[in-house]
């Protein structure tokens, strides 16, 4: 498990109750009401979800069976026909929401744009037709490698509309990482932009796509669609590359949503795991739509009058579920922001809140800590009185950051929901319902109705009392991932057999450690596997190690996380070099850059330590626990008797 910082261990014991007025007006108003919902869902999960599916979504055809559970493979609303693009757009057009702002976009540098539901619908239909014109058919995969601009959401919704699963690749990933994902997903088309703005500089996205697919490296890719965003000269390959605006000008705005089977694939999203290759998490249509819709509605207490802003990037699951699909399915106004916090613009988030009168704000602890450091004067100089509810996601939030968020941003009046969930879970799993559940800083509190979360030991036995263990889920839920794309065995092994099933009962293993207090509140402690969490981004240590050893100077590499005040964790790499190589400052820099080229800037090691040898067990396994202790400057704790060569440890301690 990653090392918690001293501060994250210190728990703030106070209970924070929602203001009475907030509770009275909330969708779920009391702990009793929550409990009733929870019990109802527990007693008959299928009836619970079926009732909501019928009430909240549009179906072209009713399902025959609510749940088909062949562990660990689940199908929800079997035989039902629906379309998430229809649920996000068309159904609002026959109501007063037709001219309501669907998407408010605040771009860099100072650009902005608002699309009503009717306008967004039109653009999505046009782009769906543009994709069709390029020969994209139902079942074909589309890669999306975009900055945070409305066209990213439009492209996703257009894919969903015609049944072409999308795979969004975060714009901060390198050409190499993009290539791996396009190849694995067998993408037929890539949607990108000439460039994106990142802290006053241009990220040359189209150039990266060119690199990724050069020399037929991603042979499935036939066409590239390019949004003109940053305007610099770029190369367009005739026949292969097309400008978005030229395609849009040419096509009809009439494109009925394709009735999709509830279990048709909606998207693949790659995420890091314990082995080298990122895995393609597969989500399907009906269950994901219902789950993101309900979790957003109840946990963020969403109302038609809200202006809702989630600061994530659409390249991550948070962007998929809670910038695009969840909010639009609910007919909400969702804000999309292209910028990022930086020293030269220390009030940027608070400006957006003031400018649009944001009422619900959702961000990550790492961003909160960055703003905290920039000083209270920035939020204090803005009018944040429109805010009524705050949320956080991505890593455990340390009590000091929670209290700052509550007081300085929330003005002591906004509940904070700490949402624990994962790419794999599709939506929130453990989160307060803000009108019903008093909060404790650092705890995600209680499971969402329908989620049977628990804490168990390595054999799957329930852990009693406030003892730590593995966080698991006992019953399938509609938003769960269906498989690892192209590798169902990996899905089974990673999530369902890590804790051995007993009597045919499969339980979902999340990869996190947690404990539960006397009120039944969950406290998530962090990953128990070889995944580290840097600024809320998931990185597999093996992925970074593979990147390092792909450099000719490197013989072996071991990567661990080290606690970091701002980022949560930082990447530290221990590296042994090939015989003829010198451990120079220059090489240190080169290797850091090599990781950036192979994966992306988010994976850049904070520190690379050269060493003669890595500590290994007699069976040759790298003893990461020792390295974690060393990286964080702690005494090496625990048993070292299995260490093969003790002198290695002495040398590492000596800092060689
Ligand atoms: C961590 C992001 C504590 C956790 C939605 C999980 C959290 C991983 C929280 C998933 C939270 C996310 N408290 N830890 N509120 N939210 N995590 O797939 O370790 O990018 O397993 O999904 O982030 O990261 P992912």
Ligand 1 atom 11: residue of nearest CA: 420
**How far, CA to CA in Å, does 227 sit from each of 127, 155, 234, 452, 472?**
12, 11, 11, 43, 42
Of 569, 528, 600, the C-alpha closest to 369 is 569
89: tokens are 């757009």
Q: What is the pLDDT of residues 461-489, one digit of tens each?
A: 999 888 899 999 999 999 999 999 999 99
Q: Read off the pLDDT of each residue in 592-597 and give the average, rounded to a whole number.
A: 97
533 lines ligand 1 (CB under 6 A): yes
Measured distance CA(276)–CA(570) in Å, rounded = 19
Overall average pLDDT of the 403-431 stretch: 98
Percent share of the chain, pLDDT over 70 = 97
Beta bridge partners of 20: none
Tokens at residue 511, please? 């990869």
- Beta bridge partners of residue 81, listed in sequence order: 61, 261
- Nearest ligand 1 atom to the CA of 397 is 13
Rounded to an integer, what distance in angstroms lies between the CA atom of residue 327 and that of residue 331?
A: 6
Separation between Cα atoms, residue 539 and residue 155, nearest integer Å: 26
Q: Residue 216, class by beta-carbon neighbours within 10 Å (0-12 exposed, 13-18 middle, 19+ buried)?
A: exposed
Determine which helix (DSSP H) or strand (DSSP E) holds 113, and give its type and residue range: strand 112-116
Q: Quote the pLDDT of residue 594.
A: 98
Residue 504 pLDDT grade (very low, low, confident, very high; cuts 50, 70, 90): confident
**Residue 7 confidence class, pLDDT cut points 50, 70, 90:** low
* DSSP letter (8 states) at residue 656: -
| Closest Cα to atom 10 of ligand 1 | 422
Q: What percent of the chain has pLDDT over 90?
A: 86
Mutation choice for ligand 1 from 316, 393, 424, 530, CB with most ligand atoms inside 8 A: 393
Taking the model in full, what pTM does it have? 0.95
Q: Is 313 in the pocket of ligand 1 (CB under 6 A)?
A: no
CB distance 398 to 4 below 8 Å? no
Average pLDDT, the chain: 94
**Nearest CA residue ID for atom 15, ligand 1:** 420
- Residue with token string 């919704």: 157
| 3-state class (DSSP) for residue 556 | strand
Atom nearest to 418 CA in ligand 1:
15
Poorest-confidence range of 97-106, 290-299, 406-415, 465-474? 465-474
Q: How many A from CA of 427 to the centre of ligand 1? A: 11
DSSP labels, 409-429: ITTTTS-EEEEB--GGGSS-S
Q: What are phi and psi of 328, to 5 degrees?
A: -70, -35
Who has greater pLDDT, 640 or 86? 86
Helix orientation angle between 585-598 and 541-549, rounded to the nearest 10 degrees: 120
Instruction: Please report, to the nearest 10 degrees, the dihedral formed by the alpha carbons of residues 190, 193, 198, 200 taken in order.
Output: 170
Which atom of ligand 1 is closest in space to residue 392's alpha carbon? 15
Strand pairing partners for 201? 198
What pLDDT, on a 0 to 100 scale, did the predictor assign at position 654?
Answer: 64
Ligand 1 contact via 444 beta carbon (within 6 Å): yes
**Residue 535 three-state SS:** coil
Q: What's the distance, CA 286 to chain centroid?
A: 20
Q: For residue 145, how far is the Cα from the chain centroid? A: 15
Q: Which of 284, 272, 314 is nearest to 146 (CA)?
A: 314
271 Cα nearest atom in ligand 1: 18
pLDDT digits (tens, 9 = 90+) for 351-395: 999 999 999 999 999 999 999 999 999 999 999 999 999 999 999
Distance CA 15, CA 17 (A): 6
CA 510–ligand 1 middle distance (angstroms) = 10
Mean pLDDT along residues 128-133:
98
**Cβ(524) to ligand 1 under 6 A?**
yes
Tens of pLDDT, residue by residue over 198-210, are: 888 999 999 999 9
CA 320 to ligand 1 center in whole angstroms: 15
Q: What is the pLDDT of residues 238-249, one digit of tens each?
A: 999 999 999 999
Q: Is 439 in the pocket of ligand 1 (CB under 6 A)?
A: no
Higher pLDDT, 40 or 636: 40
**pLDDT, tens digit (0-9, with 9 covering 90-100), for 54-84:** 999 999 999 999 999 999 999 999 999 999 9
**pLDDT score recorded for residue 494:** 94
Residues 615, 656 contacting (CB under 8 angstroms): no
Token output for 605: 């090691």
């Amino acid at each position: 498990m990653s090392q918690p910082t001293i501060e994250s261990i210190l728990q703030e014991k106070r209970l924070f109750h929602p203001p009475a007025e907030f509770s009275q007006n909330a969708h779920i108003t009391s702990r009793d009401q929550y409990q009733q919902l929870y019990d109802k869902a527990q007693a008959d999960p299928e009836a619970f979800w079926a009732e909501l599916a019928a009430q909240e979504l549009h179906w072209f055809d009713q399902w025959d069976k609510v749940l088909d559970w062949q562990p660990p493979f689940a199908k929800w609303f079997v035989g039902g026909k629906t379309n998430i693009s229809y649920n996000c757009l068309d159904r609002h057009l026959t109501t007063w929401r037709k001219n309501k702002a669907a998407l408010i976009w605040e771009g860099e540098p100072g650009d902005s744009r608002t699309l009503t539901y009717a306008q967004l619908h039109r653009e999505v239909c046009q782009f769906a037709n543009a994709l069709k014109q390029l020969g994209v058919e139902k079942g074909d995969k589309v890669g999306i490698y975009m900055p945070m601009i409305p066209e990213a959401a439009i492209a996703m919704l257009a894919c969903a509309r015609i049944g072409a699963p999308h795979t969004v690749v975060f714009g901060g990933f390198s050409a190499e990482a993009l290539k791996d994902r396009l190849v694995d997903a067998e993408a037929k088309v890539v949607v990108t932009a000439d460039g994106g703005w990142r802290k006053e500089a241009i990220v040359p996205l189209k150039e990266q796509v060119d690199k990724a697919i050069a020399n037929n490296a991603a042979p499935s890719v036939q066409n590239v669609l390019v949004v003109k965003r940053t305007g610099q000269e770029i190369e367009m390959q005739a026949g292969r590359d097309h400008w978005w605006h030229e395609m849009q000008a040419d096509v009809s705005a009439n494109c009925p949503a394709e009735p999709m089977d509830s279990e048709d694939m909606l998207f693949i999203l790659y995420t890091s795991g314990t082995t080298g290759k990122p895995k393609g998490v597969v989500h399907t249509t009906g269950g994901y739509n219902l789950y993101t819709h309900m979790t957003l509605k109840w946990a963020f207490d969403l109302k038609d009058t809200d202006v809702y802003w989630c600061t994530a990037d659409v390249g991550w699951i948070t962007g998929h579920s809670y910038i695009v699909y969840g909010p639009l399915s609910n007919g909400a106004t969702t804000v999309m922001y292209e910028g990022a916090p930086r020293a030269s613009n220390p009030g940027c988030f608070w400006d957006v809140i003031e400018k649009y009168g944001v009422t619900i704000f959702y961000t990550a602890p790492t961003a909160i800590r960055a703003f905290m450091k920039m000083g209270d004067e920035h939020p204090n100089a803005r009018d944040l009185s429109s805010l009524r509810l705050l949320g956080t996601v991505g890593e455990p939030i340390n009590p000091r950051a929670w209290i700052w968020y509550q007081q300085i941003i929330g003005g002591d009046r906004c509940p904070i929901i700490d949402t624990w969930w994962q790419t794999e879970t599709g939506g929130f799993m453990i989160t307060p319902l803000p009108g019903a559940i008093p909060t404790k800083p650092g705890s995600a509190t209680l499971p969402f109705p329908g989620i049977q979360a628990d804490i168990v030991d390595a054999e799957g036995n329930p852990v009693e009392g406030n003892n730590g263990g593995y966080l698991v889920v006992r019953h399938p839920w509609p938003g769960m991932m269906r498989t690892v794309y192209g590798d169902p065995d990996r899905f089974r092994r990673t999530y369902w057999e890590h804790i051995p099933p007993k009597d045919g009962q499969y339980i979902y293993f999340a990869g996190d450690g947690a404990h539960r207090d006397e009120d039944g509140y969950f406290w998530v402690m962090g990953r128990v596997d070889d995944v580290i969490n840097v600024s809320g981004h998931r990185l597999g240590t093996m992925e970074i190690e593979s990147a390092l050893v792909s450099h000719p100077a490197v013989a072996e590499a071991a990567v661990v996380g080290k606690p970091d005040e701002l980022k949560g964790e930082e990447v530290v790499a221990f590296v042994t070099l090939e015989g003829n190589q010198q451990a120079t400052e220059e090489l240190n820099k080169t290797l850091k850059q090599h990781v950036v080229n192979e994966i992306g800037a988010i994976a850049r090691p904070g520190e690379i330590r050269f060493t003669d040898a890595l500590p290994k067990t007699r069976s040759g396994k790298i003893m990461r626990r020792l390295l974690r202790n060393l990286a964080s400057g702690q005494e090496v704790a625990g048993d070292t008797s299995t260490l093969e060569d003790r002198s290695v440890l002495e040398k590492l301690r000596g800092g060689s």
